[in-house]
Amino acid sequence: MRLQQLHLLQAIAQTGSLRASADLLNVTQPALTKALRQLEEEFGTALVLRSPKGVRLTPPGELLAARANTALRELDRAREEVEWHLRHARAQVTIGVSPVAAILLAPGALERFSVRWPQVVLRVRDTLYPRALEQLRAGELDLALGPLPIEGFRRDLLVHPLFESRIVIAARRGHPLAAETTLAGLANADWVLTGPAGGPGDPRNLCNEAQVELTPKVRLECESFATLLALMPRMDVVGIMPKGFFDRHGPAMDLLELPIGDALPTTTIHAVYRADAPLTVPAQRLLETFTAEAAAQNAQRGAR
């Protein structure tokens, strides 16, 4: 298999046309067809289906194209790393951060990193689990910071715990249940689900961990905490928020922390990256910066 053939699969998946793929790769269509035929002979199966409307990848072709995308991304990273070692050229690191990581870790860590490594371009994406893990596996992220699925993770990922994040139950000021002190007392409340079902923002998961006989009624579902902050002050719903996030934004949005006496679970924030793709030098230094920031904040909390 040659590098050109990997680019060929990418182009076909992108354009759906052999002619457009040839133009994109700056080769003749006969040369492209020959390269495709050689690749199909090598794997012993058809990789492309032809029709009057164009071409599309067969299931084996899609599997191979996915691997080709990963291989080409890793080659790009290798070139970047070699340039980094030779000339300290500008490099790029893409990270995904959960709301808690964005608020508690990112400001201090990224400030220190940018001072020490000004030639590195940082791309920061807001991500919620489990989408962040999918983006890692697809090569769209170098590093992800956030919680992990309850069921755990596969061995294709390397995981480093950074810190424990407390949660609070919040509601708008004036909510009829704003003074409630037990989870059981919220049996008739309307809840908001933030993020995916089964995640840290799912009240059903909260009740299971707290061993409370309660079936929360989810009235509102939000994919982001920004949406949650916009809607909660105008609705009679209660919801789960990371304490660090609530402390910074809740009071300003006229939200209150319910004085729940039941023990509430914590969420562990991890740094996660792929086991089969070593971090580039800049990405490794960024991970070290986040680890140091988490350690400093853990020490501050322990001193209180």
Rama region for 16: left / alpha / beta (φ>0; ψ in -120 to 50; rest): left
SS3 211: coil
DSSP class of 234: G
Residue from 92, 79, 17, 88 nearest 48 by CA: 17
Q: Which residues contact 100 (CB under 8 A, 6 or more apart)?
A: 146, 165, 242, 244, 245, 267, 269
pLDDT of residue 4: 82
Are 253 and 171 contacting, i.e. CB atoms less than 8 angstroms apart?
no
Are 186 and 261 contacting, i.e. CB atoms less than 8 angstroms apart?
no
Report pLDDT digits (tens) over 35-88: 889 988 998 999 998 888 888 899 998 888 888 888 887 787 777 667 766 666
Q: How far is CA 90 from the centre of its chain?
A: 24
Report pLDDT digits (tens) over 136-156: 888 889 999 988 876 666 788
Are 271 and 132 contacting, i.e. CB atoms less than 8 angstroms apart?
no
Cross-strand pairs, 268 = 164
What the chain holds in terms of domains, given with CATH numbers, is 3-80 (1.10.10.10), 90-164+268-303 (3.40.190.10), 167-265 (3.40.190.10)
Residues with pLDDT less than 70, the chain: 1, 80-81, 84-90, 150-153, 207-213, 302-304
- Between CA 44 and CA 66 the distance in angstroms is 18
